Structure 1
Amino acid sequence: MSTTREHSETRLLVPSLIFIALVVAAVASLGAPLITSVATTFHVSLDSAQWTLTIALLSGAVATPVLGRFGAGPHRRATILVTLVVVVAGSALTVLPLPFAWLLVGRAAQGIGLGLTALMMGVARDHLPEERSAPTIALVSVVSIMGIGVGYPLAGLLTEFGGVRAAYGLGLLVTVIALLAAWRSVPTAPEGRSAHVDIAGALLLSGGLFLVLFLVGQKSLWSEHFTVAVVLAVVAVLLLCVWTVSGLRGKAPLVDLRALRHPAVAGANLAMFVGAIGMYILLTLITRYAQTPHSAGYGFGITTFVAGLVLIPFSVLGFIAGKLTPPMLKRIDAPLLLAGSAVVIGGGFILFAAARSNLTELFLAMSVLGFGVGSFSAAMPGAILVVTPKSETSSAMSFNYVVRSVGYSLGSAIGGLVLAAGTDTGRIFPNDSAYTTAAWVGLVAMAITTAASLVLARQRSPEAEPTVSPAGEPSPSRSNQ
């Protein structure tokens, strides 16, 4: 009887973990397709409206390592529930008829939910049998990115028919459901766990990341107030350097930076960082190109809703790749799959650079991107967790997601800078050739990602040192088995 009930709870746990990861990703991404509508509704500039997306990414990047550390301790269930309550409260603020400043507060609260993805992985690794935990972790990783493709078209459709509040209302509804799912299905952490949260480290990391992402998102600051931008950049570097030193010397750091000394962890995070830059460049290039009006001499002038539909193949193919990857990980090392996925994404760049004369070609490029990103996301946990004890799953993956968030922000900024450089004086839209240049820049990023992944695979060769099993015990590498 007890076994039957436990089996039933386990069956409910898997869809709940995947749903929560999907919801927090989709809700956080709601800012992107609504920027123009927010500017119109609240009578603010487009630069100000852009902060509805930027502030969610900022709060997510800052909250992720903190929640990861809490998730490594005995109060993981409470951390998940309290975080979702914060996300629900933030979602309510985006729906209520309040001034623009309150909308930003609500978006910041929604962004905090991005830190839950790593905790979902920790729950899966602790409470599911090994043959089910790996596929579940891979799917959680995939849907955390595929949520973008889900959120865009729905937000666009609701905005066209009910206004920006209707789109944010959907966010409120699904976050309430996610909270109920977590309350019903997420178990308590195993006994014997402890987690000390390094408050000073959290403040240093928060300040450093805020300045980095702020400077990346504020291109006008570099052109109009260059000295101020340089000073802030120096302060950001100093804060992150102090955080790094304190993390290496501390007994219970916010993120175990000593783990980065392991080639598998360092290599995987490097691949994630550079790969995220490339992924986001192509994602933004395709959506921006599709919405460019015909008057620019190219583009298709499609609406926000139709632009969101372009992302559907990204989500569908990404989900399919995420389902196919776990079985492949039983035969192929995760770093090799990372390298192969990076090559696929590179193929998407080549397609976009060579052929974008109709929407069908954009759909094809987006499909290739989705398949590559889905496979890359599903393989990434396997490259890190093979050398990570169970108790540190949330913390290790939270750092990887911080790296990914910073990479996404840099990718968005780099793509924007290349397009801005290709915009003639007096023109609103860049030249068509600027998109080709940006595509080649992204292709270089994916080539670096491929090389980093292959180096990592070589380090996992038969001659490589023993790794650590999921249980925290030394075990031979896959090649030795």
Structure 2
Amino acid sequence: MKSSAPPPAAGRPSETRPEAADRLVAVLAFSGIVVSLMQTVVIPLVPELPELLHASPSDATWAITATLLAGAVATPVMGRLGDMYGKRRMLLASLFLLVAGSVVAALSDGLGPMIVGRTLQGLASGVIPLGISIMRDELPAERLGSAIALMGASLGIGGALGLPAAAFLAERVDWHVLFWVAACMGAVATVLVLALVPESRVCTGGRFDLVGAAGLSAALLCLLLAVSKGAAWGWGSGWTLGLIGVSLLILAVWGRWELRIGQPLVDLRTAARRQVLLTNIASAVFGFAMFAVSLVLPQVIQLPKATGYGLGSSLLTVGLVMGPSGLVMMAVAPLSARISRTRGPKATLMTGAVVVAAGYLLGMVLMSEIWELLLVSAVIGAGIGLAYGAMPALIMAAVPVFETAAANSFNTLTRAIGTSAASAAAGVVLAQMTTRFGPLDVPSENGFRTVLAIGAGAALVAFLVAAFLPGHDHAASAAARPATEATSAEPADN
């Protein structure tokens, strides 16, 4: 049957003056960076969370797990609501949740309030795909490529730049200040969006798929809970295997439901198109690939020198080593757009995957000095920046303009699932490949190298998946079509 969604109204990107376009890009990129900061703001506190929250170590990890689960649920839901009722409206709602969550966390002294605050922060995860969709609706074609490359990279930029800042504050002030800073930055982003970001006219209306949202949320909660807690529960335990089984069962029923209704949460027929499907697979694999650097480098930097391979430095040094990768991601955004414009986003994604693989292979050799790890981090950051700029362009080239937010949100979700899977896989490797250091078993040097090798392999798999993407040269220009030209797109069959 045909989708009952009405055709979108015309947007006005051609009326956006250059200075207004600059402000729009700056505000949306800043909002994306602010949201990504919430992923790193708690990292300096992880070793101390049990004491700070008066909880056991296993319970304290919920302060991190809650954000992951909430983000997985919110990303596709906010994307669909943005397409239906207004992307700016959902962007503001997401930022409001971020501010509210940061305030709750800042006021907390126990595990319960902290989990509530971190859950609210996770519900803001849809900001980046919403921002990319607003850019497609509002910007002229000549500005769109570099803008979405910057917005796509903002997730990595905020995470990389936030770590040194959070580490610096955690060493010098009360830990609650970290969340007050996050709340203030979220409030600034909210005010800027209110003042400078227009509401797009590209809006479908219609009825929200509550059953589909509930089904996908339940499936993701079961899957990610099993992945994130599998190491603690045991990968062969009844809880882990049971949650994975329930997740697969729910996904099967959910998929059947989404194929039968007229206005689904996720248009699976569109998602099954070759370009969309392969891009989402590449995103999941790339999400798996990019996590290894975040796990290996901090541990190598902080392990004592007496291990023979640790560098014995502080968490602040970790931040200073990882931070420049965010600047590199920002710097390569224009290059990503240029490659996409001249060779197509497929070439950009493949180039990014090769650069990431090269960075990991470099890391397997260069692990003995701070400057070596800084170089490795920067190379991997360059590859991530290239790839993150290409993925939204590939998605937008293959979906109607009135499905942009939902499609980009689903792409972001697949990347997050890949990252979660990488965390679990790397955790298993490092738990098995250990060496004795005093009374403790710590990850061995070969364990770290194995994780880096897995990251390189995953990046090469992403390269191979991207190689099967359609090679037509108009992909970048199709992604850059303004909303006024996209109104003729037919809704996907349903």
Using the size of structure 2 for normalisation, the TM-score is 0.90
Write the letter of the residue equivalent to 1:249: R
5+ residue gaps, structure 2, are: 1-13, 490-494
Q: SS where residue 44 of structure 1 aligns?
A: coil
Residues 304 and 311 of structure 2 are in contact (CA less than 8 Å); yes or no, is this contact kept in structure 1? yes
How far off its partner does 1:391 sit?
1.4
Distance 2:264 2:56 in 1: 40
Decide whether aligned partners of structure 1 residues 361 and 333 sit closer, same or farther in structure 2, where only a CA change above 3 A counts: same
Q: Partner residue of 1:104?
A: 115
The partner residue of 2:144 within 133, 141, 147 is 133
Q: SS where residue 428 of structure 1 aligns?
A: strand
Larger relative contact order (Cα-Cα within 8 Å, sequence gap ≥ 6): 2
Q: Partner residue of 2:376?
A: 365
**Mapping for residues 400-415 of structure 1, pairs under 5 Å:** 400-415=411-426
Structure 2 residue 109 is matched with structure 1 residue 95: no
Write the letter of the residue equivalent to 1:472: A
Q: Partner residue of 2:445?
A: 432
The number of equivalent residue pairs is 470
Q: SS where residue 235 of structure 1 aligns?
A: helix
Residues 337-389 of structure 1: per-residue CA shift (max 9 Å, x gap)? 11111111001111111120111111111011100000110111111111122
Write the letter of the residue equivalent to 1:102: P
Structure 2 residue 464 is matched with structure 1 residue 451: yes
Residues 204 and 240 of structure 1 are in contact (CA less than 8 Å); yes or no, is this contact kept in structure 2? yes
Q: Partner residue of 1:184?
A: 195
Q: Partner residue of 1:164?
A: 175
How far off its partner does 1:235 sit?
0.5
Residues 281 and 414 of structure 1 are in contact (CA less than 8 Å); yes or no, is this contact kept in structure 2? no
Q: SS where residue 114 of structure 1 aligns?
A: coil
Distance 1:416 1:324 in 2: 34
Q: SS where residue 286 of structure 1 aligns?
A: helix
Q: Partner residue of 1:288?
A: 299
**Mapping for residues 39-438 of structure 1, pairs under 5 Å:** 39-190=50-201, 193-223=204-234, 226-424=237-435, 427-438=440-451
How far off its partner does 1:262 sit?
1.3
Residues 74 and 191 of structure 1 are in contact (CA less than 8 Å); yes or no, is this contact kept in structure 2? no
Greater Cα offset, 439-448 or 34-43: 34-43
Decide whether aligned partners of structure 1 residues 13 and 298 sit closer, same or farther in structure 2, where only a CA change above 3 A counts: same
Distance 1:20 1:158 in 2: 21
Residues 209-258 of structure 1: per-residue CA shift (max 9 Å, x gap)? 11111111113444287122211111111112212221222211111111
Percent of pairs identical after alignment? 29
Distance 2:289 2:122 in 1: 22
Residues 36 and 49 of structure 1 are in contact (CA less than 8 Å); yes or no, is this contact kept in structure 2? no
Q: Partner residue of 1:478?
A: none
Residues 284-331 of structure 1: per-residue CA shift (max 9 Å, x gap)? 111222122224332122222221111112111111111211122111
Residues 107-153 of structure 1: per-residue CA shift (max 9 Å, x gap)? 11111111111111111111111111222112110112211001111
Q: Partner residue of 1:36?
A: 47
Residues 231 and 428 of structure 2 are in contact (CA less than 8 Å); yes or no, is this contact kept in structure 1? no
Write the letter of the residue equivalent to 1:446: A
Q: Partner residue of 2:486?
A: 472
Decide whether aligned partners of structure 1 residues 329 and 41 sit closer, same or farther in structure 2, where only a CA change above 3 A counts: same
Write the letter of the residue equivalent to 2:265: L
Residues 161-191 of structure 1: per-residue CA shift (max 9 Å, x gap)? 0032121221111011111111112212206
Distance 1:9 1:58 in 2: 36
Residues 33 and 154 of structure 2 are in contact (CA less than 8 Å); yes or no, is this contact kept in structure 1? yes
Distance 2:274 2:288 in 1: 21
Write the letter of the residue equivalent to 1:167: L
Greater Cα offset, 297-306 or 65-74: 297-306
Using the size of structure 1 for normalisation, the TM-score is 0.92
How far off its partner does 1:6 sit?
5.8
RMSD: 2.4
5+ residue gaps, structure 1, are: 476-481
Q: SS where residue 34 of structure 1 aligns?
A: helix
